[in-house]
Amino acid sequence: MNMRPAEETCVDAEALALDALDDAERAAALAHLDACDDCRARYAAAREVAALLARSVPQAVPPPGLGTRVLAQALAAPAPAGRSAPARIAWSWLAAAAVLVAVLGWNVTLQAQLRAQAEQTEDLATRLTTQEAALRLLAPGSGVARPLVGSDVAPRAQGALYLDPQGTTGLLVVRDLPAPPPGKVYQLWLIHDGQRASGGLFTVDERGVAVLVVQAPQPLRTYQAVGVTAEPPGGSPGPTGPRVIGGQL
């Protein structure tokens, strides 16, 4: 390593990398870096050491749902001045949130369960396979997204159902959906010629976000529409309440 004696240094590159300068010192040091290759190199090296310090702390798991909130905020916020967000991301935060929930929730939690609960391995492995199949629907060029719209009961609610029309696996993502009434859960209905089959039960987080892997009894191309109603825990054989969100397939 090429150590320079302290008296030859131009700026406190090490202190800068540790954020140990006050605002005025920091501004002056950063301005100096732009003009001094040597200090810039020292600062880059010191930042790598600082990053090692950062990585030396006890590792903690971010709470579930934090990533979903990050993405919801990222894509809900207006683009900075001078930049425009392409229209194509209209639903992409939902896809992103779903990926995040899937990866963080399923891969971490589910795989931890797989290790811890050997007797349930087969069942969990099946679920993981199903969820990975649902995830693949979000890859560019795979699957299609059908938008869902809130009813008068939940006018702000939005969502999408990602599906491969030939398959039986889909991914439901909603946001801004109010919590179901006390003692109720939401149930997804798959509608075919007026007949309704259950697509699964779910509830929403405190921000009205939910992600549900849908396992349809028949290929999804056979259904014309979907709807969501609030039902008793365990679900109902058919809808008993008003639709809160739904859409055409």
Partner 1 sequence: MNQARRQDEELAARLAARDALALTELYQRHSRAVYSLALRMLGDREAADELVQDVFLRVWHHPERYLADRGRFVTWLLSVAHHRAVDLLRRRRVQRPTADGDVAELSADSVAPDDAVADAEERRAVRDALATLPEGQRRSLELAYFEGLTQSEIAARLGEPLGTIKTRIRLGMLKLREQLRGLVREYEAG
Residues near partner 1, by CB under 8 A: 1, 3, 6, 9, 12, 14-15, 17-22, 25, 40, 44-63, 66-67, 69-71, 73-75, 77, 79-80, 85-86, 89, 92-93, 95-97, 99-100, 103-104, 108, 112, 138
Which residues, 6+ apart, have CB-to-CB distance to 236 below 8 Å? Answer: 187
Closest to partner 1 by CB, 22 or 119: 22
Tell me whether residue 220 is exposed, middle or buried, using C-beta atoms within 10 angstroms of its C-beta: 0 to 12, 13 to 18, 19 or more: buried
Best CA proximity match to 207, nearest among 69, 105, 111: 69
Helix (H, G, I), strand (E, B) or coil at 108: helix
Minimum CB distance to partner 1 smaller for 9 or for 121: 9
Q: How far is the CB of 163 from partner 1 (least distance, A)?
A: 18
The residue among 5 and 194 lying less far from partner 1, judged by its C-beta, is 5
Nearest-approach distance from CB 8 to partner 1, in angstroms: 11
Give me the least distance between CB of 89 and partner 1, in Å please: 6
Which is closer to partner 1, CB of 95 or CB of 212? 95
Nearest distance from residue 234's CB to partner 1, in Å?
30
Q: Would you say 54 or 182 has its CB closer to partner 1?
A: 54
Q: What b/e string do you get for 117-131 counting C-beta neighbours within 10 Å, with b at 16 or more?
A: eeeeeeebeebbebb
Phi first, then psi, for residue 56 (nearest 5°) are -90, -5
Q: Which residue carries 């301005």 as its tokens?
A: 31
User: How many C-beta atoms lie closer than 10 Å to residue 103's C-beta?
Assistant: 13
CA dist 229 and 238 (Å) reads: 10
Least distance to partner 1, CB of residue 102, Å? 9
